[in-house]
Structure 1
Amino acid sequence: MAYTKSKAENSKSSSSGVVEKRVWFYSLLLTVQYGAQPLISKRCIGRDVIVTSSVLACEIVKVICALLLMAKDGTLNKAFKEWTLIGSLRASGLPAAIYALQNSLLQISYRNLDSLTFSMLNQTKLIFTALFTFIILRQKQSIQQIGALFILILAAVLLSIGEGSRKDYGSDNPDEIVLYGIIPVLIASVLSGLASALCQWASQVKKHSSYLMTVEMSIVGSLCLLASTYKSPDGEAMRQHGFFYGWTLLTTIPVFVNAVGGILVGLVTSYAGGVRKGFVIVSALLVTALLQFVLDGKPPSLFCLVALPLVMTSISIYQKYPYRVKKKEA
């Protein structure tokens, strides 16, 4: 009996180790993708390219890649047979709608805030992600992990100062700054945390495939985007000049890279949760600074150099001190 129990525990430990290695691999890939995406987009997407066309193309590629991956691992037929509209809307519809609203709020906020203030306020989504993960999934954080989150936010603020201080634009009217700048970005941060927790709930509790969620959310997001083109400047431009106006072969590179990033986000959220994704996003800012130095010869700012050990420390603390349930004394 003891041998059987020991064997089961070893098997469980081995499985947990494989999952953890997979999480680190996906997180590393996502960090590199997030960090490289701004530089790739800047070099490959011309100013004439209609933004909505590149976003829609990315969503289409994301759906195709997710379906191919599902076919490869043999889950496509099963997912197709078990798929229901109600189940899909319950798992992916709400997060997709929330993300669509969040993106609209961020666009409004970015126009009315200087980039430094915007970047710093946008980092509050890490706190809301941890909060909603606790409310929805009852996933608690240890005291050390909460401290690690605040260290990470401090690092994100420093990185935002280093990058954001290079640009300074926004509204000069104090009322507009609060109403159309600060309030929208804070609401967007709350929505981001909620959507991330809902995605984690669907994948970990309801066992909804991360690939299937990617497909569903991309389709819902694309429908919302298409609806917005009815009276938007981008919609008018596409009707006048065509969907691929301004495109070159280079334009397809960031579209594919971004699509891969979208799939990786789903995998990281599914296996590790939304809080871990927050660590990836902040770490990616360091990758961007490094690539700027390598490719453009632009040295990292002092803020970036200070933030680097903070990010490494926060990640180390968060992994080393997970929340543990206290055993009741007999």
Structure 2
Amino acid sequence: MTSDLQEARNVATVSSGNSKKESLTMVLDLSQSKQLKYLSLGVLVLQTTSLVLTMRYSRTLEEDEPRYLASSAVVSAEVLKIFACALLVFRENNFSLQGMSLLLKEQIVKKPVETLKLAVPAGIYTLQNNLLYVALSNLDAATYQVTYQLKILTTALFSVSMLGKRLGLYQWLSLVLLMAGVTLVQWPTETDEDTEQEVLTAGSQFVGVMSVLMACLSSGFAGVYFEKILKETKQSVWVRNIQLGLFSFMFGLVGMMAFDGESVRRSGMFQGYNTVTCAVVVLQGVFLGGGAGYCCHLSVQLRGQTCQQKRRQSVAREPREPRRLTGETAATLHTRSRTLETVSQTLARAAYDCRKCRSTSQLRGV
């Protein structure tokens, strides 16, 4: 009986030590997850801001040679995006070309229905990228950046209608404040100084604003549609980006030849390219496409880790139910208790006999 009690104490001590270690590990994981989340958010904000400023500068830069084609920049960015995602898939397969080729063949060629689902967001993203170039050619960077934040409103509305998400009161108030801020930015002002906003004609401003609004609608719908596809399948984010890039490349190439085919045949696809144009293409294709995919992949992982940690904490906080005894265990305990009772009675009788013998011997001695 004493050995059983000692064993139970040892088990309790070990379990308490393990629970403390698990709680410490969960705290460290949560802190690292928050740091990675904020780091990825900061990098994405830096990439987006630098892309907007660089695109605006490249579209307003005055040079002797003709300006580069926006459709050509979109196609080049999609090629770089496919190449960057292919390198990441190659890394995930332990730098094995055979493993990467087998994975791409299995996920893309042998699943044509799943691949064709990405044709819809690919076409919308291609349209959106071309609209962004039109908007930045007709709006200043500040107005474009603030107005383009309406994609948060469109994404929220499409998430409620397509994914069935529910928004809280503070979230709806934030969207209303966003609408008010965009309205104030577009409100006309009268100043004596010749600013960039006044230099732009009313027609170009209207074209730029309409391009931004159409880009916001397309961005919200395509983003929610792409999220729905990712939730329905278990394919890698990088493989999905490759599928998306292939369709975007085809749609962009068709659009370039349809609208700018004569210029391409006359001066080539890369006419007007310079260092700034190459920076725009790299930011849009490699950094923004790969960075957004990485942030999406990281957020899914962090969300899964956080859910698992919360589940473990809730399980640890739940009161444990008393152990239910089976029939065999109850019979064993009953037998042990009867044995202990018999032993205790025998010891009590022996002690009584010893006291009785001592008292008798003392009386005889007297």
TM range (shorter): 0.5 to 0.7
Give the drift of 1:146: 2.7
1:1-330 mapped onto 2 (5 Å cutoff): 18-41=32-55, 48=66, 49-74=68-93, 76=100, 78-83=103-108, 84-90=111-117, 92-103=118-129, 122-156=148-182, 165-171=197-203, 186=213, 188-232=215-259, 234-249=260-275, 251-259=277-285, 260-272=287-299
Structure 2 unaligned residues grouped into runs of 5+: 1-11, 95-99, 190-194, 301-366
Contact 1:113/1:170 (<8 A) preserved: no
Cα pair distance change 1:52/1:191, threshold 3 Å = closer
Cα pair distance change 1:170/1:223, threshold 3 Å = farther
Give the drift of 1:264: 1.8
Residue in structure 2 matched with residue 282 of structure 1 by the alignment: none
Cα pair distance change 1:155/1:262, threshold 3 Å = farther
- Partners of 2:23 and 2:221 in 1: CA distance: 34
- Partners of 1:204 and 1:269 in 2: CA distance: 12
- Partners of 2:289 and 2:171 in 1: CA distance: 26
Give the drift of 1:141: 2.5
Cα pair distance change 1:23/1:138, threshold 3 Å = farther
* Of 64-73 and 211-220, the range deviating more from structure 2: 211-220
Give the drift of 1:252: 2.5
Contact 2:74/2:130 (<8 A) preserved: no
Contact 2:52/2:145 (<8 A) preserved: no
Give the drift of 1:243: 2.0
Give the drift of 1:111: 9.0
- Partners of 2:297 and 2:179 in 1: CA distance: 23
Contact 1:58/1:258 (<8 A) preserved: yes
- Partners of 1:245 and 1:221 in 2: CA distance: 21
Contact 2:74/2:126 (<8 A) preserved: no
Structure 1 unaligned residues grouped into runs of 5+: 274-330
- Give SS of 2:258's match: coil
Percentage identity across aligned positions? 21
- Partners of 1:10 and 1:141 in 2: CA distance: 33
What is the Cα-based RMSD across aligned positions, in Å?
4.2
Cα pair distance change 1:185/1:201, threshold 3 Å = same
Cα pair distance change 1:213/1:17, threshold 3 Å = farther
